[in-house]
Amino acid sequence: MATNQSDPVARVYAVALYETSRDKGIIGDVQQGIAVLMEAWSDKTFRNFFTSPRIPRATKIRGMEAALLGKVPQEVLNFVKILIAKGREPQFDNICASFHVYRDQAENRVHAWIEAGSPFEQAEIEAMKKQLSVVSGGKEVVMHYEHKPELLGGAKVRLGDRSVDNTLRTKLIHLAQSMA
């Protein structure tokens, strides 16, 4: 199920949740609580219960309290109750995705995805991280590194909406296309 982080309703709820948790100094705890809920969201039975318009809101709230009390911060449980009360449960995954995006923006952080055809040493990863930080305007870079031998060598790098594919596999494909 794809999320839509540009959903304006999701952004409003995400900003409210982030700012509330920031003001209370519990951003990390709230993010962990959201992670618990997102794991449950992947279960179809949970998702169907949570999003069904046929289940009365009071029943959903009681069910969520029973399932989540003591497992997530009270602020996350309150957030879930508000979503249910306002009928916004189907947008839960969009709100969570927006929360992560907004947190990254507020904390001057960006994510980079690297797929490499040959293993990178830790020093190479750190050097790439520094380079990407410069490219991103000095933001903290969170690296998502994956070794993919099928790329044959080189690397693919995606940082925000920018990407560079310098893999041997892609170069060979382009060479074959130009020869054809």
Domain boundary residue, one of 75, 105, 135? 105
Given pLDDT bands bounded at 50, 70 and 90, which one contains residue 1?
very low
pLDDT for residue 155: 87
**Whether residues 126 and 73 fall in one domain:** no
Task: Quote the pTM value.
Answer: 0.73
Spatial separation of the C-alpha atoms in residues 59 and 154, rounded to whole Å = 54
68: containing domain = 8-105
What pLDDT digit, counting tens, does each position of 106-162 carry? 999 999 999 998 888 899 889 989 999 998 999 999 999 999 999 888 889 999 888
CATH of the domain at 61: 1.10.520.20
Q: How many angstroms separate the CA atoms of 96 and 140, rounded?
A: 21
Whether residues 160 and 125 fall in one domain: yes
Pull the structure tokens for residue 174.
């382009």
Q: Is residue 68 part of a domain?
A: yes
What pLDDT digit, counting tens, does each position of 54-103 carry? 999 999 999 999 989 999 999 999 999 999 999 999 999 999 999 999 99
Vertex 11: Cα angle to 46 and 91 (nearest 5): 25
